[in-house]
């Protein structure tokens, strides 16, 4: 250890209690078993979020949130700013990979029944993080003010407007008026860079705190489990995964930089085949294929109510799955989870494979 | 049979409904709806969608008679005109349509000179000579199902006009007596104008009536063809008028635009129409080796060279775009070069090589700029790939070091 490092540590030690933190890391154990692989998705989400924050901060240097300049500023970032293309592509690609990683993390947690008390609040906070990150994606998608994002936002907010009772008011609040306009862009920007980061950081803090306090959950039915220390063993493995994902992101960004698209024209007709970001498509396709009326109720409204109820039940899973709470296997929930996964995959695939549904 | 009766009943009901509502009787409709002869029933069926009905006019407004009378004899009173003979149709329609006072009640902006124009048309001239086979108002507009010409289903709506005119003008039997060719509509359908109208749905693209006139339809004379084309192509017309061709064409009595572009089958113009091209029109009048022909050759060479250069620049940008580099700005610049090409192609009508060269030089400057930007974009793509290789190498080294460290830790017995 060099003299400088020694001095720095000596300075920081009384102020941050570093040795206590290191001791906590060494004492903290992470179970190692045949499903341990899934543990890395939590850390991966954190890493991708950090990338989002860093690249987002750089983008703020040049991005202008106004109808007249938003698209032009993105074009400027992509063509004139040194490494602007890389920063913006990393931001956009990572956003999508992050949502995918959150889904994987959530379903792996579900199938390993890691939500069972006392980790119920970790699950609930994770559920809110999923909602926040989907909102991040939805609000960020409009910011380049291109044709696709403009009309996808219009479609998305129309769906929100169909929510019974609250829909109309909610839509007006989201849009800042009757339709997608400059006011919407300002609101989405406000949401994307101020409100959602604050909320996400707060909930993420709780989520990580709970994970650290209670440690990783052990799968039901596995009695003898080997354990490794959180620091440095697990942290180093986490870092290795992060490095590999970072390389993959780099390759994707060089060969497939995120496109700028054509500037949105509010007076143009909606392009054929417009659809939201991939993580909303399972809901979008459901709304498309659902019959117009079911038992004298509007199909679309029924589907939206179904999704809302489904989301609520999903959040309350730790309290519904009593068997898992008693450390017993709960195949009903496993089957239900598997059906939900199949449903999401099929509906998402249909969006792209059968766009004229 | 039952369905026919049923449909007649429904039609009678629909037509009788407004009558019963407003208390106005219309015995014409009541009787004609129930008639067995299709010819006599057809007016009622067609009239439901007729523009005259939409303006509140009824049978008696054209045919006279008293629709309030149930008795046929009483209904056909002194004012009854019945159906006019074909030869009298223009005057029959013109009795209202030529009256500004009357037409103002329905549409203050409508023209009232249709009949006057009709008599100047070839159709009108022949009708006056006693040929009742020629087109009268009803042949183009229909009889009882007349619709406004801005209604897409109307027979006089832009994209229906070739078919409307073609009903007579594409008929070999019908045209035999007049010695007129019958291929105009087929030729028109291959033209650049038809492509704009039918493929691009551009309603401003010319159809038969835009060049021949509608009510005053007459083939344009040699001297007037150029003016017809100039309605939409004034710039090409001006260039032509200032060129040496103008005096020569006038002297030889050759129609201007038509001589090179044709009439009904006006194909999309290409550079191949210039001297030496596969569709060379210069050779129609000029022999190879002559000075005018050489001018044509030079024009083609200049344009071909420019087009090749433009294509190289386009290919550079496409290549850079495929490699992920943002090239919207050079692409935007390239539009200036494409505009220069459009202008130069138009300048061929003026036959001035110097003027063409001036415009091409301007375009060449833009192309050179775009090429430089395109080359820069390709270099950027290369730089990105090199950077990726270097960065990936570093990350892999780091990952390898981490992996070895993890193995080292794992190999130690846990305390």
Could you tell me the CATH number of the domain that includes residue A169? 1.20.810.10
Decide if A302 touches B, using CB distance below 8 A. no
pLDDT of residue B412: 78
Tokens of B97: 């349509």
Q: Averaged over B32-60, what is the pLDDT?
A: 87
pLDDT of residue B1: 44
Q: Which residue on chain A is closest to B327 by alpha carbon?
A: A79
Decide if A247 touches B, using CB distance below 8 A. yes
Flag whether the pTM goes above 0.80. Answer: no
Partner-chain residue, chosen from B324, B327, B396, that has the shortest CB–CB distance to A256: B324
Q: Averaged over B25-45, what is the pLDDT?
A: 84
Residues 6 or more apart whose CB falls under 8 angstroms from that of A350 comprise: A285, A289, A357
* Widest pairwise Cα distance in chain A: 78
Decide if A225 touches B, using CB distance below 8 A. no
pLDDT of residue A355: 85
Decide if A240 touches B, using CB distance below 8 A. yes
Q: Which residues of chain B neighbour A28 with C-beta distances below 8 Å?
A: none
Q: Averaged over A208-237, what is the pLDDT?
A: 88
Q: Which residues of chain A neighbour B405 with C-beta distances below 8 Å?
A: 232, 236
Q: Which residues of chain A neighbour B414 with C-beta distances below 8 Å?
A: 229
The answer to whether residue A270 is domain-embedded is yes
Distance set, CA A266 to CA A70, A161, A181, A182, A357 (Å) = 14, 19, 8, 11, 26
Tokens of A180: 């997608």
The count of CB pairs under 8 A between chains A and B is 58
pLDDT of residue A254: 96
> What is the least distance, in Å, from the CA of A235 to any CA of chain B?
10
Q: Which residues of chain B neighbour A86 with C-beta distances below 8 Å?
A: 384
Q: Do A255 and B324 touch (CB under 8 A)?
A: yes
CB B146 within 8 A of CB B155: no
- Interface probe for A, chosen from B320, B322, B324 (most Cβ of A below 10 Å), is B324
Quote the CA–CA distance of A225 and A332 in Å, as a whole number: 25
A199 CB burial (10 A radius; 0-12, 13-18, 19+) = middle
pLDDT of residue B17: 47
Task: For chain A, give percent helix, strand, coil, nearest 5.
Answer: 70, 5, 25
pLDDT of residue B4: 53
The answer to whether residue A17 is domain-embedded is no
Q: Which residues of chain B neighbour A247 with C-beta distances below 8 Å?
A: 392, 395-396, 399
pLDDT of residue A165: 85
CB B370 within 8 A of CB B335: no
Q: Which residues of chain B neighbour A246 with C-beta distances below 8 Å?
A: 395
Partner-chain residue, chosen from A79, A246, A256, that has the shortest CB–CB distance to B329: A79
**DSSP secondary structure letters along A182-205:** HHHHHHHHHIIIIIHHHHHHHHHH
pLDDT beyond 50 at B19: no
pLDDT beyond 60 at B138: yes
DSSP H helical ranges for A112-234: 120-142, 147-161, 167-175, 182-190, 196-214
Q: Do A240 and B399 touch (CB under 8 A)?
A: yes
pLDDT beyond 50 at A23: yes
Q: Do A254 and B395 touch (CB under 8 A)?
A: no
pLDDT of residue B21: 42
The SS3 of residue B1 is coil
> What is the least distance, in Å, from the CA of B374 to any CA of chain A?
12
Q: Which residue on chain B is closest to A245 by alpha carbon?
A: B395
Q: Which residues of chain B neighbour A250 with C-beta distances below 8 Å?
A: 388, 391-392, 395
> What is the least distance, in Å, from the CA of B408 to any CA of chain A?
10
The answer to whether residue A172 is domain-embedded is yes
Buried-state track B81-105, b at ≥16 Cβ within 10 A, e below 16 = eeebebeebbebbbeebbeeeebee
Decide if A78 touches B, using CB distance below 8 A. yes
Q: Which residues of chain A neighbour B386 with C-beta distances below 8 Å?
A: none
pLDDT band at B22 (very low <50, low <70, confident <90, very high): very low
User: Angle CA(B407)–CA(B409)–CA(B410) in degrees, nearest 5?
Assistant: 65
Q: Which residue on chain B is closest to A86 by alpha carbon?
A: B384
> What is the least distance, in Å, from the CA of A261 to any CA of chain B?
10
Partner-chain residue, chosen from B392, B402, B409, that has the shortest CB–CB distance to A239: B402
pLDDT beyond 60 at A108: yes
pLDDT beyond 60 at B157: yes
Quote the CA–CA distance of A45 and A348 in Å, as a whole number: 22
Lowest mean pLDDT among A112-116, A330-334, B219-223: B219-223
Q: Averaged over A311-324, what is the pLDDT?
A: 96
Partner-chain residue, chosen from B326, B392, B410, that has the shortest CB–CB distance to A85: B326
pLDDT band at B24 (very low <50, low <70, confident <90, very high): low
The answer to whether residue A234 is domain-embedded is yes
The answer to whether residue A110 is domain-embedded is yes
Quote the CA–CA distance of A114 and A349 in Å, as a whole number: 28
Q: Averaged over A201-213, what is the pLDDT?
A: 95
In tens, the pLDDT along A64-83 reads: 999 999 999 999 999 999 99
**Mean model confidence pLDDT for chain A:** 93
Q: Do B402 and A240 touch (CB under 8 A)?
A: yes
> What is the least distance, in Å, from the CA of B388 to any CA of chain A?
7
pLDDT band at B410 (very low <50, low <70, confident <90, very high): confident
pLDDT of residue B379: 97
A113 CB burial (10 A radius; 0-12, 13-18, 19+) = buried
pLDDT beyond 60 at B80: yes
Domains of chain A: total: 1
- Residue percentage of chain A with pLDDT more than 70: 100
pLDDT band at A154 (very low <50, low <70, confident <90, very high): very high
Q: Averaged over B213-229, what is the pLDDT?
A: 83
Is the preceding peptide bond at A159 cis, omega within 30 degrees of 0? no
Q: Do B395 and A250 touch (CB under 8 A)?
A: yes
Q: Which residues of chain B neighbour A236 with C-beta distances below 8 Å?
A: 402, 405-406, 409
Q: Which residues of chain A neighbour B395 with C-beta distances below 8 Å?
A: 243, 246-247, 250
Partner-chain residue, chosen from B329, B392, B410, that has the shortest CB–CB distance to A250: B392
The answer to whether residue A271 is domain-embedded is yes
pLDDT band at B7 (very low <50, low <70, confident <90, very high): low
Q: Which residues of chain A neighbour B409 with C-beta distances below 8 Å?
A: 232-233, 236
- Interface probe for A, chosen from B201, B333, B402, B407 (most Cβ of A below 10 Å), is B402
Q: Averaged over B3-9, what is the pLDDT?
A: 51
Q: Do A247 and B395 touch (CB under 8 A)?
A: yes
> What is the least distance, in Å, from the CA of A85 to any CA of chain B?
8
The answer to whether residue A317 is domain-embedded is no
Chain B residues with a Cβ under 8 Å from any Cβ in chain A: 324-329, 384-385, 387-388, 391-392, 395-396, 398-399, 402-403, 405-406, 409-410, 414
The answer to whether residue A86 is domain-embedded is yes
A contact residues 127-146, partner B, Cβ 8 Å cutoff: none
Decide if A254 touches B, using CB distance below 8 A. yes
pLDDT beyond 80 at B57: yes
Partner-chain residue, chosen from A75, A232, A239, that has the shortest CB–CB distance to B326: A75
CB A94 within 8 A of CB A53: no
Q: Averaged over A98-123, what is the pLDDT?
A: 97
Closest CA to A282 of A187, A355, A349: A349
- Interface probe for A, chosen from B406, B410, B411 (most Cβ of A below 10 Å), is B406
Q: Averaged over A273-293, what is the pLDDT?
A: 92
pLDDT beyond 70 at A148: yes
Which structural domain, as residue segments, surrounds residue A173? 30-276
Q: How far is CA A21 from the centre of its chain?
A: 29
Buried-state track B56-78, b at ≥16 Cβ within 10 A, e below 16 = eebbbebbebbbeeeeeeebbee
pLDDT beyond 60 at B6: no
- Cβ contacts of B276-283, under 8 Å, gap ≥ 24: B276/B300
User: Angle CA(A202)–CA(A208)–CA(A209) in degrees, nearest 5?
Assistant: 85
In tens, the pLDDT along B93-133 reads: 999 999 999 999 998 888 999 999 999 999 999 999 999 99
Q: Averaged over B198-208, what is the pLDDT?
A: 93
Q: Averaged over B370-379, what is the pLDDT?
A: 97
pLDDT beyond 80 at A332: yes
């Amino acid at each position: 250890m060099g003299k400088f490092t020694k001095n720095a540590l000596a300075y920081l030690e009384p102020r941050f209690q570093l040795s206590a933190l290191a001791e906590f890391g060494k004492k903290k154990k992470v179970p190692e078993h045949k499903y341990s692989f899934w543990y890395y998705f939590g850390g991966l989400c954190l890493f991708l979020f950090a990338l989002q924050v860093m690249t987002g901060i750089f983008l703020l240097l040049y991005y202008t949130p106004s109808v007249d300049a938003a698209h032009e500023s993105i074009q400027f970032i992509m063509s004139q700013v040194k490494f602007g293309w890389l920063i913006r592509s990393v931001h956009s690609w990572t956003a999508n990979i992050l949502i995918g990683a959150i889904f994987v993390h959530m379903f792996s947690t579900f199938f390993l029944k890691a939500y069972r008390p006392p980790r119920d609040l970790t699950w609930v906070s994770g559920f809110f993080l999923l909602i926040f990150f989907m909102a991040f994606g939805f609000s960020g998608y409009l910011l380049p003010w291109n044709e696709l994002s403009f009309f996808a936002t219009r479609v998305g907010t129309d769906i929100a407007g169909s929510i019974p009772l609250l829909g109309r008011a909610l839509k007006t609040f989201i849009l800042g008026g009757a339709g997608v306009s400059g006011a919407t862009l300002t609101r989405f920007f406000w949401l994307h860079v101020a409100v959602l980061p604050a909320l996400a950081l707060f909930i993420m803090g709780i989520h990580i705190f709970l994970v650290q306090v209670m440690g990783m959950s052990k799968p039901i039915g596995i009695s003898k489990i080997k354990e490794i220390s959180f620091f440095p063993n697990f942290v180093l493995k986490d870092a290795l995964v992060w490095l590999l994902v970072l390389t993959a992101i780099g390759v994707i960004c060089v060969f497939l930089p995120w496109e700028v698209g054509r500037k949105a024209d509010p007076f143009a007709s909606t392009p054929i085949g417009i659809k939201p970001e991939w993580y909303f498509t399972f809901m979008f396709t459901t709304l498309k294929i659902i019959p117009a009326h079911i038992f004298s109720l509007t199909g679309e409204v029924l589907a939206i109510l179904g999704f809302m109820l489904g989301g609520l039940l999903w959040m309350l899973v730790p309290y519904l799955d009593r068997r898992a709470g008693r450390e017993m296997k709960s195949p009903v929930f496993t089957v239900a989870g598997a059906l939900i996964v199949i449903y999401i995959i099929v509906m998402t695939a249909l969006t792209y494979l059968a766009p004229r549904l | 049979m039952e369905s026919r009766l049923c449909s007649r009943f429904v039609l009678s009901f629909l037509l009788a409904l407004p009558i019963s509502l407003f208390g106005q009787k219309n015995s014409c409709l009541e009787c004609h709806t129930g008639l067995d002869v299709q010819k006599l029933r057809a007016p009622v069926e067609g009239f439901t969608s007729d523009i005259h009905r939409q303006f509140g006019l009824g049978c008696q407004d054209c045919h006279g008679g008293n629709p309030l009378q149930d008795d046929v004899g009483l209904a056909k009173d002194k004012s009854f005109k019945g159906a006019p003979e074909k030869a009298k149709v223009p005057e029959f329609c013109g009795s209202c349509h030529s009256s500004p006072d009357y037409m103002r009640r329905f549409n203050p902006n409508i023209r009232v000179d249709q009949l006057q124009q009709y008599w100047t048309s070839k159709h009108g001239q022949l009708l006056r000579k006693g040929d009742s086979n020629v087109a009268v108002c009803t042949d183009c507009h229909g009889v009882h199902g007349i619709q406004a010409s801005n209604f897409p289903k109307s027979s006089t709506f832009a994209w229906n006009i070739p078919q409307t005119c073609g009903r007579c003008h594409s008929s070999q039997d019908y045209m035999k007596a007049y010695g007129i060719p019958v291929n105009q509509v087929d030729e028109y359908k291959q033209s650049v104008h038809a492509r704009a109208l039918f493929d691009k749905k551009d309603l401003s693209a010319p159809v038969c009536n835009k060049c021949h006139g509608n009510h005053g339809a007459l083939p344009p004379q040699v001297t007037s063809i150029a003016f017809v084309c100039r309605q939409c192509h004034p710039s090409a017309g001006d260039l032509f008028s200032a060129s040496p061709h103008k005096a020569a064409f006038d002297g030889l009595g050759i129609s201007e635009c038509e001589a090179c572009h044709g009439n009904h089958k006006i194909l999309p113009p290409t550079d191949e129409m210039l001297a030496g091209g596969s569709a060379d029109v210069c050779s129609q009048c000029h022999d190879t080796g002559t000075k005018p022909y050489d001018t044509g050759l030079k024009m083609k060479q200049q344009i071909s060279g420019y087009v090749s250069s433009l294509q190289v620049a386009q290919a550079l940008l496409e290549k850079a775009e495929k490699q992920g580099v943002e090239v919207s700005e050079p692409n935007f610049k390239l539009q200036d070069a494409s505009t220069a090409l459009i202008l130069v192609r138009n300048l061929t009508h003026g036959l001035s090589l110097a003027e063409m060269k001036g415009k091409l030089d301007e375009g060449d400057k833009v192309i050179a700029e775009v090429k430089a930007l395109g080359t820069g974009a390709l270099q950027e793509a290369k730089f990105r790939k090199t950077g990726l290789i270097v960065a990936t190498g570093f990350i892999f080294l780091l990952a390898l070091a981490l992996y070895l460290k993890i193995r080292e830790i794992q190999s130690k017995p846990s305390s």
